[in-house]
Amino acid sequence: MNTILSPASGEDLIRLLRAWRFWLSSGVIGAVIGLMIYFIAPPPFRSLATVNVDFNMEQAWSAETDRQQFYYLERETRKLVEIAWSDSVMDAVANQVKGVTVPELREELLQLGQPGEAGWHFYADATQPELAAELASTWAEVFTLHARERIASEKGISSSITLDLTQSAHLPVDRSIPFSIYMLAGAVATSVISALVLLFMPAKITENRSK
């Protein structure tokens, strides 16, 4: 009999292929289980707002070099990210959206995607779609306001940067994880488990199941 630590032989693999109906049906059952989990304990809703950030590197450097541009882009991006997660921005969002706290915003509800030049995505997760949209919109608006104030006051942020709030109303809202991922994960997990079970199952039992 095979053990867990012993390598699979050619005969074991042949037995596994012969029992394809068993592990294929297991995959289907796993997909159904994944779908059931999705409806019983669904993932939170997710919305996103977009702010277009233009660093205007051609204005920031009269004599351009790739090294200068890279350093400028990395430095100013880091400053804007710090503003997005700053106490002043988080406090403003928590004050405008009732029922949330700053720790929840930072640790659970908000995510910042694609920091760099062009569109910055401000994601928000919540159990209710309306709350997710409100959080994403408010965060993007507050960030834009605070960043523009810092740029106008020349407090460590390049005056060449411009920000445009391109999407903050009628935001798209969907589940943070689609049901297809749950089905795929369930199918793959049960198929793998079934294959392992068949590999280490006595040959006679496997042959009877494959018939």
Based on the fold, state whether residues 34 and 58 are members of the same structural domain: no
Confidence of residue 117 (pLDDT cuts 50, 70, 90): low
Residue 118 belongs to some domain of the structure: yes
194 and 150, same structural domain?
Answer: no
**117 and 184 share one domain:** no
Give the mean pLDDT of 121-140. 95
- pLDDT, residue 201, reads 61
In angstroms, rounded to a whole number, what is the distance separating the alpha carbons of residues 6 and 12? 11
CATH number (domain holding residue 57): 3.30.70.1130
Residue-level pLDDT at 87? 96
In this prediction, residue 191 carries a pLDDT of 78
**Within a domain: residue 171?**
yes
pLDDT at 125 over 90: yes
Both 113 and 77 in a single domain? yes
- Mark whether 150 and 170 lie in a shared domain: yes
Within a domain: 196: yes
Residue 76 lies in a domain: yes
What are the b/e assignments for 77-114, b being 16+ CB within 10 Å? bebbeebbebeebbebbbeebeebeeeebeeebbeeee
Strands, E assignment, 100-188? 110-113, 118-126, 162-167, 173-175
Find the mean pLDDT for residues 96-118: 89
199 shares its domain with 134: no
Asked, for residue 4, whether it belongs to a domain, the answer is no
pLDDT at 89 over 70: yes
Residues 50 and 75 in one domain: yes
Q: How far apart are CA 33 and CA 29, in angstroms?
A: 6
pLDDT of residue 126: 94
Residue 65 shares a structural domain with residue 138 = yes
Residue 1 within any structural domain of the chain: no
| Stretch among 41-50, 90-99, 181-190 having the lowest mean pLDDT | 181-190
* pLDDT at res. 145: 95
Q: Is residue 195 part of a domain?
A: yes
Q: Does 74 lie in the same domain as 155?
A: yes
Kindly compute the dihedral angle of the four CA atoms of residues 199, 204, 208, 211, in this order, to the nearest 10 degrees.
70
Q: How high is the mean pLDDT of the chain? A: 82
Structural domains in the chain (count): 2
Identify the domain containing residue 145 by its residue range. Answer: 45-175
Backbone angles phi, psi at 154, to 5 degrees: 55, 45
Global pTM reads 0.74
| Judgement on whether residues 31 and 86 belong to the same structural domain of the protein | no
Domain assignment present for residue 106? The answer is yes
Across 118-138, average pLDDT: 94
Tens of pLDDT, residue by residue over 10-25, are: 565 666 666 667 777 8
Same domain, 76 and 162: yes
CA 175/CA 178 separation, integer angstroms? 6
Higher pLDDT, 112 or 2: 112
pLDDT at 194 over 80: no
The pLDDT assigned to 102 comes to 96
Q: Which helix (H) or strand (E) holds 45?
A: strand 45-54
Mean pLDDT of 79-83: 94
Tell me, yes or no, whether 71 and 119 share the same domain. yes
